[in-house]
Chain A
Amino acid sequence: MAKIVVEHLKYRYPLTEELVLKDISFTIEPGEFIGIIGENNAGKSTLCQALVGIIPNFYKGAYGGKILIDEIEVAKQNVSDICRKVGIVFQNPFNQVTGSKLTVYEEIGFGLENMGLPRNEMIERIDYSLRLLDIYKYKDRNPFDLSGGQMQRMAIASIIAMRPEVIILDEPTSQLDPQGSDEVFRAVQSLSHEGITIIMVEHKMEKIAAYSDRIMLLQDGQIAAFDTPQKIFSMDDLDRYGVNAPAFTRICKSLNIKDEKTGCYPVTLKEAEDALSLSGKGGLRV
């Protein structure tokens, strides 16, 4: 499984003067679930695209430092080679549909055809992805006839079929309704159980806190903090970074209830429940 090492990453888009990524360094171990949070323009999407090589190879611009995935330098590879190791899913499900395939089934096979896989292996992988993302029943539908949530799950399935070791999701639920969002989060949970390294940019703090092993807080192109959800959301100056803590955390903060073991505030419903009942503070039932 691939280990991600980022060393002194810097980047500036063409025709601009400011660096969007200003000296970022971190390591991600195989199988980790990393959440990335931060206000708008903090560099979250840029970082995601840098991990797949889209930055710098698609946009060009000015690039410094290096990203090593399994000791291979990302910037020096073709995106079409890196995409076998690292997959990425974007916000807008519509724009990820190739448009050249008439069924969901064939659409998922698009990347596999590009990889030159033999037919029976393609069929196996497509079936697997369809079931993992719970869209098997739509396999014969036209990709454009799906709902937002279904389309996004198809996008994830298309990437998963390529069997990357790392999958990056850049705000995958921003353009979806609550039902679609839930469908995607459930899908992402299945993925993490498969042992794939997951990196997800999200604004829904409750979800990100529940799923992540570690959370990276970005601000102004730099890493402000990179730690467990408990430590991150227990920070006192979170609004300086333009983010809110999960609802449960905010409630516990105002009641000053901390998790005994970690000395941090609870970040999930379960933790909050436990902490509240332990503290016995005034008959609150969550």
Chain B
Amino acid sequence: MKKNSMWSLKLNTASLVLIPAAVGINYIGKLFAGALKLPLWLDSIGTILAACLAGPVVGALCGAINNIIYGFTLDPVSFIYAVSSVCIGVAAGILAYKGKIKGVVSAILSGLVIALVSTLISTPINIGMYGGQTGNLWGDALFTWCTASHLPIWLASGLDELVVDIPDKVAATLIAFGIFKALPKKLTILYKNDQEVESLD
């Protein structure tokens, strides 16, 4: 069974149709988090799940389209943060492809990696857009404290973003992993591009 490279741009129809569902799951995660008043965003569960199912290219597309849709339906500022979502999708896809999201512990570790990637990309955007703040209460409180303590802006802003991203991305990865494990193999196999038809003749 030949394995397509994880960067293959040949996406089958099932993987493409997965993307709107993944963006929908992101949306619903956000809604549930709001309704249950959880201190998390949980708006990347779909992207991470899609990346686990179909690889980094689909993960990247989910991230990009997610923010484009948010931009058209909630807040235009989301367009600017699209790069961050794309990188989350790519990171999750690479981790999943390399088998790094296999159990609870590895899911948590992967979540940390994804949080780190998200922080690395979002921080420069935060600095450019909002002078380093993220709009999150606790994160910005930390930012204020860091700035008052004369820490450099990139550190203050980075910590602000990190403190928000770590719980959110770890939780999102755990949830995405949990859902992934619960899916029947008959469904997950559809997204693997390397299946062949066996001959019975």
Contacts and interface: CB of A to CB of B under 8 A. Distances in A.
Contact of A64 (B189, B196, B199): B199
B42 to A, nearest CB: 24
Interface size class of A (residues with CB under 8 A): 10 to 19
A60 B197 contact: yes
Interface string B2-18: 00000000000110000
B185 A62 contact: no
Contacts of B196: 60
A12 B198 CA distance: 9
B197 A64 contact: no
Contacts, number: 37
Contact of B186 (A15, A58, A99): A15
Contact of B199 (A19, A57, A58, A63): A63
Given A14-B189, A15-B185, A15-B189, A62 B200 contact: yes
Nearest to A11: B200
Given A14-B189, A15-B185, A15-B186, A99 B198 contact: no
Interface string A45-77: 000000000001111111111000000000100
A62 B20 contact: no
A12 B199 CA distance: 10
Given A15-B185, A15-B189, A99 B20 contact: yes
Contacts of A56: 197
B191 to A, nearest CB: 12
Contacts of A64: 199-201
Contact of A57 (B185, B186, B197): B197
A137 to B, nearest CB: 29
A182 B96 CA distance: 49
Nearest to B184: A15
A250 B65 CA distance: 58
Contacts of A14: 186, 189, 195
A7 to B, nearest CB: 11
Given A15-B185, A99-B20, A10 B200 contact: yes
Interface of A: 10-15, 19, 56-65, 75, 99
Interface of B: 13-14, 20, 185-186, 189-190, 195-201
Given A14-B195, A19-B200, A62-B199, 13 more contacts: A10-B200, A14-B186, A15-B186, A57-B197, A60-B196, A61-B197, A62-B200, A63-B198, A63-B200, A64-B199, A64-B201, A65-B201, A75-B197
19 contacts: A10-B200, A14-B195, A15-B185, A15-B189, A58-B14, A60-B195, A60-B196, A60-B197, A60-B198, A62-B197, A62-B198, A63-B197, A63-B198, A63-B199, A63-B200, A64-B199, A64-B200, A65-B200, A65-B201
In order of increasing CB-CB distance, the 3 nearest A-B pairs are A64-B200, A62-B198, A60-B195
